[in-house]
A and B are shown apart, each in its own frame.
Chain A
Amino acid sequence: MNSDVILSAKTPPTSQKKLVVGWFSFTCCEDSTILFTELLNKHFDTWRTLIEFRHLKVLKSNNELRDLDVAFIEGAISSQSQAEEVKNIRANAKYVVAIGSCACSGTPSSARNTFVSEELSDRIRWYLSHFDYSDKVKKLEDVITVDDKVNGCPMVTLMFLKVVNKYLRLFGVIPSEPQVQ
């Protein structure tokens, strides 16, 4: 594994500043969220010295959407209310990273974009009309500006670790040069 993407548990922070992040999920299976919780098996002790998880609904109740350095956003956008929510996240984050296939490309959550209207059952029509589904499911950058993408279904772990380290360096939380273990 590329040493550039692995932070040693002994990696010293360059300052007291932590990277302030939020993690958000929209329409998807949340596989990347689950993979993120798996990454914590190895990285928990290091990351909590370097990262403030200000908004992380899967792990905490006391969440704040303000002054995020980076927002990681998983999932596609299925409705106007989700679009408004993600715009609000964008307005409160310096950078936004699209996480996983549904956020990056819309698929597979956008499967309904190919449905033929005449073939839909009454039940599907009921759900589509009863709740505020938009006509089409959108990928994230169809709704907001995206700064980075981590593709994959679920996200590719090494790409995610590289992006995390990129922003840790960008915000001066760790030294700008990679630490070699």
Chain B
Amino acid sequence: MQSGEITIDSITKIEGTAGLEVKVVDGAVQDLKFIIKDYRRFYTHAVKGKPFAAVPSFLSRICGTCSVAHLFASLEAIEKSQGIELTEQTKLLRRLAYDGLMIRDHALHLYFFVLPDVLGIDSILDISEDAQDVGHILLHDSFDIKSVGSDITDVVIGAAIHAPYPAVGGFHKLPDPTLFPSLIEKLQKIRPQVIRGIKTFFDWKASLIRNADYMALRNEKSFDFLEGEIINSTGRKVPESEFHTFLKSVVIPYSQSEGYVFSDTHEDYFAGSLSRINLNLDLLRADTKASIAEYLTAFPSNNIYHNNLAQAIEILHCVDEALDILSSLHIEAEKPIKVPVRQGVGVGVIEAPRGILYHMADVDDAGRIRDYDVIVPTSQNQINIENDLKKFFGENLHRPKEELQRDAEKIIRAYDPCMSCATNFLKIAWIEQ
């Protein structure tokens, strides 16, 4: 392609709406825009003045697919603002529910969105009805895997989407332990299916290597999505409360979402499963590592497509952790922890399926929200995505336009971006590019 434009008005098989515009002049990429198109809902402004107890459930509506991530990050931020210490049972139940979220959410992305790329077809709707066909087998694996993820969240927190049981300080309603054996049986059944998925994404030879900067939560005790310090690949480490100091926000005038770079180096970076596995590979469960040792040799990796493999590995980790918790947990009757309402600021940083997620709650002495802030992974990845695409187009302009368009969508899809999330926050600092 010597000169011309490539426009993808709406990228498919992702959550939300995003587009891509590429302008090529004299055989070189002159301009490239990755455009997040979802309209903002300004929820962090909408919660101002609201009683804090109502906020986590409302903010779970930021995103359908990672609703539980926003719910838990918001609960953590508000609990820290009030000095609430959770019981060990509450922590374990949240871990268990989060395993359910990760299993379902990652499986949706890997099998419904990415698997057609692996198979060289447009859609899961095009997969053969032949039960022996590899696509058919993997797709039906995904139905089982996704169902188990949803079943766990249904039992533990009341629903997979906008869950009703979790409360500030604990749970409105505790799960029924008589339902645990059925979950254990289902988890044991899907384990080999999950490993088949890991092999599939390990064997997929797609590659794009550019950046080597990552950021993730790290808990020195275990592979953890909910607790830890923030680390990045340049060696910096800060507590959750200082997360915002890691970042510099960047206005992207054509996008409904701002982007982010590291505050010190001003370099773009990746947030998501690839970051977590690259930075926390040593912390994966022993039983998980033992089952997939050959596939772990891919890490550390700077291949963006290995985000898919990393997600598949995280599904197995979550299956094993959920089995562990369900087998040992004895539910005790507990009410949510209550403390006198106080003025305070709390930060909740957790690993959402797509990467590190920050909620900050500033609560007044009457328990109402004075200020609220959210930073989501897709906005953090926005500049990285754009720069990856610039590299891809710069090196492949000799190929047919249709192939370029198709592979550009594959690259974007590998990030598992979520535009619903990306357009529902307002960072406090306003820094012009």
Which chain A residues have a beta carbon within 8 Å of chain B's beta carbons? 25, 27-35, 37-38, 40-42, 44-45, 48, 53, 56-63, 78-79, 82, 108-109, 111-112, 114-115, 119-124, 127, 130-131, 133, 153-154
Contact = CB atoms under 8 A, between A and B. Distances in A.
Interface string B409-420: 100000000001
Contact of A30 (B15, B58, B123, B147): B15
Contacts of A127: 40, 256
Contact of A60 (B38, B42, B122): B122
A178 B38 CA distance: 40
Interface in B29-60: 38-43, 45-46, 48, 58
Interface stretch (B63-71, B179-187, B387-395): B63-71
B430 A57 contact: no
A58 B114 CA distance: 11
A30 B13 contact: no
A29 B63 contact: yes
A111 B67 contact: no
Interface string B119-141: 00011110001000000000100
Interface in B14-28: 14-17
A30 B146 contact: no
A133 to B, nearest CB: 7
For B64, B144, B161, B409, which residue has the most chain A Cβ atoms within 10 angstroms? B64
B14 to A, nearest CB: 8
Contacts of B15: 30, 33-34, 58
Given A27-B39, A34-B64, A41-B150, 19 more contacts: A27-B38, A28-B420, A30-B63, A30-B65, A31-B64, A33-B64, A34-B15, A34-B65, A37-B108, A40-B143, A57-B12, A59-B12, A59-B125, A60-B122, A63-B12, A79-B39, A122-B430, A127-B256, A153-B162
Contact of B64 (A30, A48, A60): A30
A62 B405 CA distance: 13
Contacts of A109: 41
Chain B interface size band reads 35 or more
A65 B392 CA distance: 31
Contacts of A30: 15-16, 63-65, 420
Nearest to B136: A45
5 contacts: A27-B38, A37-B146, A41-B143, A61-B13, A124-B45
The 5 tightest CB contacts between A and B, nearest first, are A31-B64, A60-B123, A78-B39, A111-B46, A41-B143
A68 to B, nearest CB: 16
Interface string B79-118: 0000000000000000000000000100010001000000
Contacts of A37: 108, 112, 146
Contacts of B235: none
B143 A29 contact: no
A130 to B, nearest CB: 7
A41 B61 contact: no
A29 B61 contact: yes
Interface in B360-406: 406
Given A41-B146, A62-B122, A108 B12 contact: no
A5 to B, nearest CB: 18
B62 interface: yes
A27 B41 contact: yes
A111 B41 contact: yes
A62 B126 CA distance: 11
B340 interface: no
Contact of A130 (B10, B43, B124, B253): B253
B39 to A, nearest CB: 4
Contacts of B406: 61
A78 B15 CA distance: 18
Contacts of B312: none
A79 to B, nearest CB: 6
B147 A112 contact: no
A32 B64 contact: yes
Nearest to A110: B41
A124 B65 contact: no
Nearest to B8: A61
B161 A34 contact: yes
Interface string B192-216: 0000000000000000000000000
Contact of A111 (B12, B42, B143, B160): B42
Contacts of B17: 25
Contacts of A57: 10, 12-13
Given A44-B143, A60-B122, A29 B42 contact: no
B147 A41 contact: yes
B426 A112 contact: no
Most chain B CB atoms below 10 A, which of A27, A37, A120, A154: A37
Contacts of A108: 41, 43, 46, 58, 61
A179 B216 CA distance: 51
Contacts of B409: 61
Contacts of A112: 41-42, 45-46
B104 to A, nearest CB: 8
B13 A60 contact: yes
Contacts of B10: 57
A53 B125 contact: yes
